[in-house]
Chains A and B, each alone.
Chain A
Amino acid sequence: MGSFGTKNTVLPGFGPALGYTIFYLSIIVLIPLSALFFKTATLTWDQFLVAVTSPRVVASYRITFGAALFAASVNAVFGVLTAWVLVRYRFPGRKLIDALVDLPFALPTAVAGITLASVYSPNGWLGQWLEPRGIKIAFTPLGIMVAMIFIGLPFVVRTVQPVLEELDQEVEEAASCLGANRLQTFYRVIFPTMLPAILTGFALAFARAVGEYGSIIFIAGNMPMVSEITPLLIITKLEQYDYAGATAIATVMLVASFVLLLSINLLQKWSRRFAE
């Protein structure tokens, strides 16, 4: 472990690199985000509590964070699978599929929402088959999850993919020579290498899903207490010219995501140590 101390490496550039990182981070992210806190600070504590704990807002936290966790988990599982298939196997159309993975980023979120609604709504391509079987997706909380899975899809695939591509297959060969079967090799050798990237992808997909607005409102139905997401409530506050109330809810979301992301990043650090 000691070998990872800064002093023990001959690599140059730590000071300038870290300095620039912090500088740019402050200019682009921290200072602008501080505006959020300053605006929120114009509320009294009581006003703040009322704004962020009213029943509708609390219900929206549950829906937003719950659906985001579910969507990120689905993406973690299928994202790893997709990355694996794309890197390791050859099949017709692979390159095209590989290129299409980024689509959810490129497609404007509003278009994504409209499109998903048109596919999954009761008269849509898929919806017309699902509806008679009692599965309603569009205009229910399920619709929120579908939209979140869509927009978070590229994260896990694209973080795991480079790791898999750079993974030295000699290690796997060695494992198999030493008598490990394929599943054991995967679990003991490949999976631990991928784990940090998977966690990163999961965290990013989750974070993105929590904040998503454009694609969800078209497919969610937006019913108060049932399918109303937190970003929509921020908009609602803004419509009432209640900037401080809007920033108060935004601040709560920000802090919650920050805590979750930090835990995942700490977990990741721990998992790496564990892998070593």
Chain B
Amino acid sequence: MTRRAIAVIFLALTALSPAGVFAKSELLNVSYDPTRELYQDFNKAFAKQWKQRTSQDLVVKQSHGGSGKQARAVIDGLDADVVTLALAYDIDEIYNKAKLIPRDWQKRLPGNSSPYTSTIVFLVRKGNPKKIRDWDDLVRPGVKVITPNPKTSGGARWNYLAAWAYALKQKGGSDAKAKEFVAKLYRNVPVLDSGARGSTTTFVQRGQGDVLVAWENEAFLAVNELGKDRFEIVVPSLSILAEPPVTLVDKVADRKGTRKLAEEYLKYLYSPEGQEIVARHFYRPYDKKVAAKYARQFPALRLVTIDDTFGGWAKAQKAHFSDGGAFDQIYGGARCLAEWGLIGLIGPIGPIGLM
């Protein structure tokens, strides 16, 4: 038993020690939350393929977290060779704040640097008791909608924009009507989790809400992992094309001397093998052939893009999710400061403070 414990500690030690000692190539892929399973498989496949080609051992390390948080970590010095995040906005900030990548990073790889796409769908309880078919049903009184907070979750921004786009594309749709629609939708939201997986847990484990608005791949994963007999997926008539982009982090890769390797890694994402893995994890593949093969898995629906409908991420972010943007207006209300001011702050404290 003790010997085993020592072995375990030794193993842990070697895991901790710098990889350079063993002359292994190492790559760090900094990604967002829902891609864990995808990159676990993909990294294995790539390492195997790399070993066959170059007979070099390769370890691809993964880091996952909220998309914005991960981008900030890279900006603040996390040594990522490649980033694979939820939205272009977060990668744009890596250019804006730290200049680690060129401004036109998104033009470097096909499909807006997005080797896979996804969209926003609904997850409902088995049998669809509330008869939810489309976005209109989400604003019905008495329907409880679970979606994370778009101010803290990248995925939730796609949810929000999809709902907005739906209202905008209806007959007589306008920004004002869309805002009203989205406001009505959020009035039906009883819990705003800070991240996408938090919302899934609230819906699945805590039994809150009638419908979960989620990424298509997350909805598939939830159904497969947590119970086919408990949930079903509903695809709305219109949704948004979610493009999670990838890029090489030039400055880091050059410093570490891993540029070639990192470029190969990203290229492999677009290869038929890579695209197969992508599709198996319920992301819509970029490659037409692979897409055709998996067509049955991904129902066709009308998809709008962020560039066409919202004029790109920078604009959408500013109009909707910045402080004082449309999302804040939905919740804020223009109360004057005095009303909430110091009296309000001390109000509940006073009697308790005296004990």
Contact = CB atoms under 8 A, between A and B. Distances in A.
Let me know if chains A and B touch directly in the complex, using CB atoms closer than 8 Å: yes
Interface of A: 53-56, 58-59, 61-62, 65-66, 69-70, 73, 76, 114, 117-118, 121-124, 138-139, 217-218, 221-225, 232, 235-242, 245
B223 to A, nearest CB: 19
Given A65-B345, A138-B206, A238-B68, A58 B331 contact: no
A221 B353 contact: no
A56 B328 contact: yes
A138 B208 CA distance: 11
Given A58-B340, A224-B332, A232-B152, A69 B353 contact: yes
Interface in B148-193: 149, 151-152, 190-193
Q: Which 9 A-B pairs have the closest CB atoms?
A: A66-B348, A224-B331, A123-B207, A239-B68, A121-B206, A58-B340, A222-B192, A236-B151, A69-B352
B335 interface: yes
A241 B286 CA distance: 30
B333 A55 contact: yes
A122 B209 CA distance: 11
Contacts, number: 105
Contacts of A55: 332-335, 337, 340
A139 B191 CA distance: 6
Interface of B: 66, 68-69, 72, 93, 96-97, 149, 151-152, 190-194, 198, 201, 205-208, 317, 321-324, 328, 331-335, 337, 340-341, 344-345, 347-349, 352-353, 355
A70 B332 contact: no
Contact of B352 (A73, A117, A240, A242): A73
Nearest to A120: B206
Contacts of A69: 348-349, 352-353
A69 B352 CA distance: 7
Contacts of B337: 53, 55, 58
B355 A239 contact: no
A217 B193 contact: yes
A237 B337 CA distance: 20
A222 B207 contact: no
A53 to B, nearest CB: 6
Contact of B206 (A53, A59, A61, A118): A118
Given A118-B205, A241-B93, 8 more contacts: A53-B337, A54-B332, A55-B337, A69-B352, A235-B194, A238-B68, A239-B152, A241-B96
Contacts of A245: 323
B206 A239 contact: no
A62 B68 CA distance: 28
Contacts of A123: 206-207
6 contacts: A54-B332, A66-B348, A225-B333, A236-B149, A237-B323, A239-B69
A220 B53 CA distance: 52
A58 B194 contact: no
A196 to B, nearest CB: 15
Given A56-B331, A59-B340, A76-B355, A223 B192 contact: yes
Nearest to B93: A241
B206 A73 contact: no
Contact of B208 (A56, A65, A70, A121): A121
Contacts of B191: 139, 221-223
